[in-house]
Structure 1
């Protein structure tokens, strides 16, 4: 593989979206019972990162067009902190992509510890970072002679130069051209509508400092009965759990805005990341193989919950049937043909999404590590919880993420503290959680966990 790689169109957009005021970085928080051992952890982290070259790559800032400089035998940045592990999300700083796109923060308390995986979204997507986390945890456990019941995955870094092609050939491209006509209608709709920010506000200047509280987040951890209730409800209605969660999020956002007497005629837009991997990508190391689709609804649409759910399901099915996840990628390629087009698209002088909603599904379900209830046993530590933070952009002050550890659902809200205070963010997430409990037919319980 070459020591230099061009950025894909998605990576280049994310690179241009990044600035101190709005870092385009993601966070994964892993919470453990027990204390991580430094030597074994650092060895495992170095081995895992070596298997995923994009995480160790850096941007060459002085090239005419930004490009990746690949680094072999380079260890990830690891910061160790000895302090109490609390519900509050550990503080982080701006990640300079010129220095590399991965930083690990390990907090070790008396009997618990946590790992914060901070990564630039241009390096890889959510599924990609969990490939790295999978390897890290398994290697850490193997260093303690833990018996792992699954074969360790093998990856082919030589596939990385093709990561932005999504397995498309010219023949496949022209074959889907008819389907993309549906996507063009969506593009016109995207441009014609002006979605409202969740809360009216003005954007910060790109050169403004990173927020004093960064990242600002809160989380909700549900009991396993909620997941069972969601699955049963989805099966009975012929929809997916993702459809249910998207519906419940629109309901929560509308309730939140109604409490503040904000317009119900305004469009609320959810940006929903979509995985574009195919079977040929099984051996692809961590990378960015993702696009986005957008769901628009007005506040007045939520009063008929059944109709709202049906419309979301039908729209998501239309997107899948017509492969409209590619529409956003194709539109970016069109922008790239115009000099400076992608940079202008990334500026963010208008609201492109009221909120982000990403659902990574079952997490770390194929590690082969021993289980303790819904937790994973990784040598001397037990993984009890995972929280996921997607990045924020101008006028998009809330990013929601869903993921399952075993049969326990967790919802996380990453919020802009300059727009949404911690109290208001907790209120918004509580509205979402209450709606999820209602949908699942499970009453609120003290055993449900708050974080942040």
Structure 2
């Protein structure tokens, strides 16, 4: 608990609440701490049932701990308004360093901060000065073409269903998770397969997940070769100069639209994804989504009306944390972090579900092992259906990894 309290001093948004008024603003209280649930019992079980976080009366972080004689499961539930995947990585790195220091040196331990909370004051500028913004505006014309496509196309949910009202809670267990872990040799084989095709591992995963989704839809009578499947991919906005930012939500998003008939030629599908990613990087289109949101926010009720429309805006979310804990300074053995008297054996993560998203995919790499986490809405997707989708995804990865001589 001491390590958690000390770490939160450097990540103020995780102990802040919203203050209502003409505009909602963050309010920081020195004595505001996240809810903590601690119990003894069997570890390695299902994730704890997530609880609603009301930022107007509590901090945007909840902590659940289950401990037995030799193992501890710690689950962090973050509100996305105050933290994103990269922010979680930075917060947990600091927490582990704090814990290790306190275990070794006790109360005399002096933590050297890795973040600067004062930088939160300029987070809305996204690292763009006036002249840097002007420099990026010509490239955003390409982004506006993409925005026109976004509004001109109507994606469909992966499985036909009526989304719940935003005020209605699911009657099923939440979250519901299906996972698959690749060992180091399998992870290396996948990386070699990506290099062989001159793409990134992320692009390869995106391509194969598109194909798995269409094969999955065919099994349940939901496939249409002419309808759009829209994949939302969160993009981290931090560059090297912004690594000192504390935990916060500092992401934008890009959107990939594909039709089912494009899955017939996997090579062409992958080349198309690679080409689109290159255009996004070249013209800095990671800012387009934010520019459009700012335009809508400047029009009375436009943003609120757009968000509250009862239509499918994205079919699925595909989020990647990359190599987690890669900047953590603690010692490692066989890739596993040693945190004083503890060894960090496994990390899980989930992408949030949005209306009409009945599944989301989250990938991360830890200790040279790639993990695939499928988060599904148990009200619309059964456990068996989620297992089938994961099996199809892994089977597709097996085919591409076979070029490196290793089966998953």
Q: Give TM-score, length-normalised by structure 2.
A: 0.94
1:34 match: none
Given that residues 226 and 437 in structure 1 are in contact (C-alpha distance below 8 angstroms), is that contact kept between their aligned partners in structure 2?
A: no
Of 66, 88, 96, which residue of structure 2 is paired with 1:129?
88
Given that residues 44 and 73 in structure 2 are in contact (C-alpha distance below 8 angstroms), is that contact kept between their aligned partners in structure 1?
A: no
The CA deviation at 1:414 is 1.1
1:75 match: 33
1:258 aligns with 2:218: yes
Distance 2:345 2:284 in 1: 36
Q: CA RMSD in A?
A: 1.6
1:426 match: 387
SS of residue in 2 equivalent to 1:200: coil
Distance 1:399 1:194 in 2: 19
Distance 2:171 2:12 in 1: 30
The CA deviation at 1:92 is 2.1
After superposition, residues 56-71 of structure 1 pair within 5 angstroms as 56-60=15-19, 62-71=20-29
Distance 1:289 1:117 in 2: 19
Of 34, 45, 61, which residue of structure 2 is paired with 1:102?
61
Which structure has more RCO (C-alpha within 8 Å, separation ≥ 6)?
1
The CA deviation at 1:313 is 0.5
Q: Which runs of 4+ in 1 moved over 4 A?
A: none
Q: Deviations over 1:95-121 (max 9, x none)?
A: 122211011111112432211110100
1:144 aligns with 2:103: yes
229-238 vs 298-307, which deviates more? 229-238
1:386 match: 347
The CA deviation at 1:152 is 4.9
SS of residue in 2 equivalent to 1:389: coil
Alignment gaps of 5+ in structure 2: 106-110
Q: Deviations over 1:238-295 (max 9, x none)?
A: 1111110000100110110111222222111110001111233122111121100001
SS of residue in 2 equivalent to 1:45: helix
1:244 match: 204
SS of residue in 2 equivalent to 1:95: coil
Of 199, 212, 221, which residue of structure 1 is paired with 2:159?
199
Q: Deviations over 1:282-329 (max 9, x none)?
A: 221111211000011111111111111100000011001100010000
Distance 1:174 1:368 in 2: 38
Distance 1:102 1:279 in 2: 26
1:369 aligns with 2:330: yes
Of 437, 440, 449, which residue of structure 1 is paired with 2:398?
437
SS of residue in 2 equivalent to 1:346: helix
1:225 match: 185
The CA deviation at 1:212 is 3.2
Given that residues 63 and 74 in structure 2 are in contact (C-alpha distance below 8 angstroms), is that contact kept between their aligned partners in structure 1?
A: yes
Distance 2:14 2:366 in 1: 24
The CA deviation at 1:200 is 0.5
SS of residue in 1 equivalent to 2:104: coil
Q: Deviations over 1:20-59 (max 9, x none)?
A: xxxxxxxxxxxxxxxxxxxxxx111111111111111111
The CA deviation at 1:348 is 4.5
Given that residues 10 and 113 in structure 2 are in contact (C-alpha distance below 8 angstroms), is that contact kept between their aligned partners in structure 1?
A: no
1:85 aligns with 2:46: no
Given that residues 45 and 76 in structure 1 are in contact (C-alpha distance below 8 angstroms), is that contact kept between their aligned partners in structure 2?
A: no
The CA deviation at 1:373 is 1.6
Distance 1:117 1:225 in 2: 29
2:108 match: none
1:169 match: 129
1:412 match: 373
The CA deviation at 1:153 is 4.8
SS of residue in 1 equivalent to 2:46: coil
Distance 2:14 2:169 in 1: 25
Alignment gaps of 5+ in structure 1: 1-41, 445-452
The CA deviation at 1:73 is 4.5
- The aligned length equals 398
Given that residues 62 and 77 in structure 2 are in contact (C-alpha distance below 8 angstroms), is that contact kept between their aligned partners in structure 1?
A: yes
Distance 2:11 2:349 in 1: 20
Q: Give TM-score, length-normalised by structure 1.
A: 0.85
SS of residue in 2 equivalent to 1:333: helix
71-80 vs 266-275, which deviates more? 71-80
Change (3 A) 1:245 1:327: same
